[in-house]
Amino acid sequence: MKHRIALLTLTLAILACNALAPKPEAEWDTAPDALIIEASASGGLTPVNYMENYIPEAQLWGDGRLVWVEQTSSGRRVLEAHLSTQEMTDLINTFADEGFFGMKDVYEPSVAVMDGINATLTMNLSGMSKSVSWSSGADTLKGFSELFALVSSGAGATGADFTPTTGYLKVYPMGGATGQEPYHWPDDSLGYGLDQVGNGKWIDGEALAFAWRIVNESYYTAVESGGKSYQLVVQAPGVSYMEPPTP
């Protein structure tokens, strides 16, 4: 009986918090470069090229363009769709109904978790902006994981594969080629090897298609070029978490 009373008390408290949470109007900047919702995850013991290749789990812009990432057995798949004005309104209202605007900005564990993950949801509306970050080991946050999963799975939209038209290529030399590299950079057809990429190079066409396929398969795939082995970074302007330099 005591357990039932405690559960009922907790449920009523959650409902009360949701009822008292701010519910801003679903109004936003409709510009195609205005980021309205972003879901991202960081942390863990990852090499530098992980974050350089990273694309947030979901990004929704003012014109309804939605880009999200799915992890499959063959690697990363980046998808794109467009939400209608009504679909965006419904999504924003779902955030409000789940109490998103009443959540604290940061939820951290009492003791740091080694190799823990930090997940962040951000929404930018005309009337207010709100960001909530949750770290591994923190208390369960009702509604947060559901909202994160919702946008990270396309918010109900059917997506098509996203392919950038231009990309910024960076390389990390791994030493001499071992002969076991699964890919060989098309030096001859492109007219340059990976040793000529330097600190970074804008690419398109064949080079971009080749490099994009590799980093989507794995950030750590080795590529042979000119007798040496490299790992690649491809950053898509306006989509990658780390924005490449202006061309």
pTM of the prediction? 0.88
What are the phi and psi torsion angles at 217 (to 5°)?
A: -70, -45
The residue-averaged pLDDT of 80-90 equals 98
4-8, 116-120, 122-126, 222-226: least confident range: 4-8
**Chain-wide mean pLDDT for the chain?**
90
Domains of the chain, by residue range, sit at: 2-161, 167-235
pLDDT of residue 134: 94
pLDDT tens-place string over residues 134-148: 998 888 889 999 999
13-17, 57-61, 97-101, 201-205: least confident range: 13-17
CATH 3.30.1560 fits 2-161, yes or no: yes
pLDDT tens-place string over residues 160-179: 999 999 999 999 999 999 99
Tally of CB atoms within 10 A around 160: 8
The string of DSSP codes covering 188-241 is HHHT--GGG-TT-EEE-HHHHHHHHHHHHH-TT--EEETTEEEEEEEE-TTTSS
27-31, 46-50, 146-150: least confident range: 46-50
Q: What gap in Å lies between CA 113 and CA 108, rounded to an integer?
A: 10
The residue-averaged pLDDT of 222-247 equals 96
pLDDT of residue 3: 39
Percent of the chain scoring above 70 in pLDDT = 90
Nearest to 152 by CA among 71, 65, 218: 71
Q: How confident is the model at residue 43 (pLDDT cuts 50, 70, 90)?
A: confident
Q: How confident is the model at residue 12 (pLDDT cuts 50, 70, 90)?
A: very low
Return the beta strands (E) in the chain as ranges: 35-43, 58-61, 65-72, 75-82, 106-107, 117-124, 129-135, 160-161, 167-176, 183-184, 201-203, 223-225, 228-235
Q: How confident is the model at residue 90 (pLDDT cuts 50, 70, 90)?
A: very high
Instruction: Tell whether the model's pLDDT for residue 13 goes beyond 60.
Output: no
pLDDT of residue 247: 83
Instruction: Tell whether the model's pLDDT for residue 89 goes beyond 70.
Output: yes
Four-point Cα dihedral 199, 208, 58, 79, nearest 10: -170
